[in-house]
Structure 1
Amino acid sequence: MRRVNGSVLALTAVMLVTAAEARAQDASKSVAGGGISVSGWNGKVDANEASSGQTVNSAKFAAEGNGFHVTTGPAITYWKSGAPAKGDYTVRATFTEPKYMNLNSHPHPYGIVIGGNDMGTDNQSLFYCAAYGSGRFIARGFGPAPFQLNGRGEANDAVHKAAGQGEPVTQEIAVSVRGDKVDCSINGTVVGSYNKSDLVGAGKLKSTDGAYGIRFGHNTEAVVTNFSMTPAVHK
């Protein structure tokens, strides 16, 4: 019979405990006084968050000056009610984390949402491009199952890095639809350019026409300013 070294067993036990503690620390924490208090906006938490009992009221979306203050809670998508964005357009906003990673032990993203259809249902589809205060970004879709455009994110020099935990960091994020392309720009630089055919189709988006808004990972806090949708002007 093969003997297993006691130190190996001990190390394995420590690793399992560490992994369990990490999962517990990263669990979504409900926000006191949560809900949406800005007229004309709606929200929906991710399916896995809903399955663990989290709701829109577990995160907080509130007005602050001419912008919004968002605190999560569960990973969540917020979108504007009313007329969708159609054709060629750009949706942009400035996101400021006043205190980087103040609600979590590692970076979580925030960014722009476009192409939302069947919003608020289990079949909602959308695309988002979001930044991390660590200098990375992620481009991802839900169709309604998630599909990745750049894996779990990648580093890019255009994405600002916080000086450290608890320090402020700001990102200007824009998603533009132009012809057969969808571009994500962060701080004035295109960090990702995608063919519409990579985003639209079976198991992906219904269209790049649709609702638009913002997206936040769980246990994250940021102030959103300069949010706008601008139709393209063709000359």
Structure 2
Amino acid sequence: MKRLVHGAATMLAIALIPQLASAQDTEKSIAVKGGVEVKGWMGKVDDKEAKAGLTENDAKFFAMGKDLHATTGPAITYWNPSMQGKGDYVVKATFTEREYMGLNNHPHPYGLVMAGNDMGTPTASYLYCAAYGNGNFIVRGFGPAPFQMNGPRGGADPAVSKAEAKGKPVTQEIAMAVKGDKVSCSINGKEVASYSKSEVIGAGKLKSTDGVVGVRMGHNTDAHIAGFSLGKP
């Protein structure tokens, strides 16, 4: 009898997985008043968010002293047109989710953008690497349709910090770099993903690894961003 009950419970759990994934995918973006308040920066919500009637004004991106802070709203990308990476370069920042899953019911990502071209237009292309507070990370691009580099939901790596619990703080140091033929993402000092330029440039992908850098935020997410910088690797 115990085996039958255990087997039934296991089958029920497996059957519920698609339903749980679907519930996460359809979590509604809750608008936040604010808009882009950092001088020189711009923002663009994902196409799906725009179709739902949300705009850049439904998320807040602002300065806190020398640092930045983002609270969303819709999934959105922020960039500064004056910050252009060329040749070999590295963009880096430290993200702190002060209250893990404070605005959502499951982990959402936040991270960096590089190689941005035609930003804010239907033909925009860029690559991003973002961390989740549960130890996962994702590398994905737009060109202009999304293209996956480490799977549809990313993957786990021991280097990615895990929050102790919902509502607890979690911090991720993220860097994206171009060096020679290599494009990489490092989190908390460890390289978690790398690709050759031929893997990320081409039809439906990046136009070039040269381009603007910025910040990528999932929907219903709040993160403090310290030390955002562009330099040489």
How large is the RMSD of aligned CA atoms in angstroms?
Answer: 1.8
Structure showing greater radius of gyration is: 1
In 1, Cα distance between equivalents of 2:202 and 2:22: 40
State the match for 1:30 in structure 2. 31
In structure 1, list runs of 5 or more residues that go unmatched.
1-10
Give the corresponding residue for 1:122: 122
Which residue identity lines up with residue 126 of structure 1 in the other structure?
Y
**What is the Cα deviation at residue 83 of structure 1?**
4.6
Instruction: Give 1:32-51 correspondences, 5 Å limit.
Output: 33-51=33-51
Which AA in structure 2 matches 1:34? G
Once the two structures are superposed, residues 161-192 of structure 1 have per-residue CA deviations (whole angstroms, 9 ceiling, x without a partner) of 00000000000000010011101000000000
> Hey, which bits of structure 1, 4+ residues long, moved more than 4 A?
18-21
Partner of 2:173: 172
Deviation per residue, 1:2-60 (Å, 9 max, x gap): xxxxxxxxx9xxx7xx76993697111100x3201110100100011101101000100
1:112, distance to aligned residue in structure 2 (A): 0.7
Q: Indicate whether 1:52 and 2:52 are aligned.
A: yes
**Partner in structure 2 of residue 77 of structure 1:** 77
Number of aligned residues: 216
Q: Which residue is equivalent to 2:189? A: 188
1:82–1:101 Cα change, 3 Å: same
Q: How far does residue 122 in structure 1 lie from its aligned partner after superposition?
A: 1.2
**Alignment partners' CA distance in 1, 2:25 and 2:66:** 36
Cα distance between partner residues in 2 of 1:41 and 1:47: 19
> Could you say which residue in structure 1 is the equivalent of 2:222?
221
Q: Following the alignment from structure 2 to structure 1, what is the Cα–Cα distance between the partners of residues 67 and 83?
A: 20
1:105 matched residue in structure 2? 105
Amino acid at match of 1:213: G
**After superposition, where does 1:152-171 map in structure 2 within 5 Å?**
152-171=153-172
2:24 touches 2:106 (CA, 8 Å); kept in 1? Answer: no
What is the identity percentage for the equivalent residue pairs of Structure 1 and Structure 2? 61
Q: Which letter does structure 1 place at the counterpart of 2:94?
A: T
Structure 2 segments unaligned to the other structure (5+ residues): 1-11
What is the TM-score normalised by the length of structure 2?
0.89
Q: Residues 185 and 59 from structure 1, CA distance in 2 versus in 1: closer, same or farther, beyond 3 angstroms? A: same
Q: 2:7 maps to which residue?
A: none
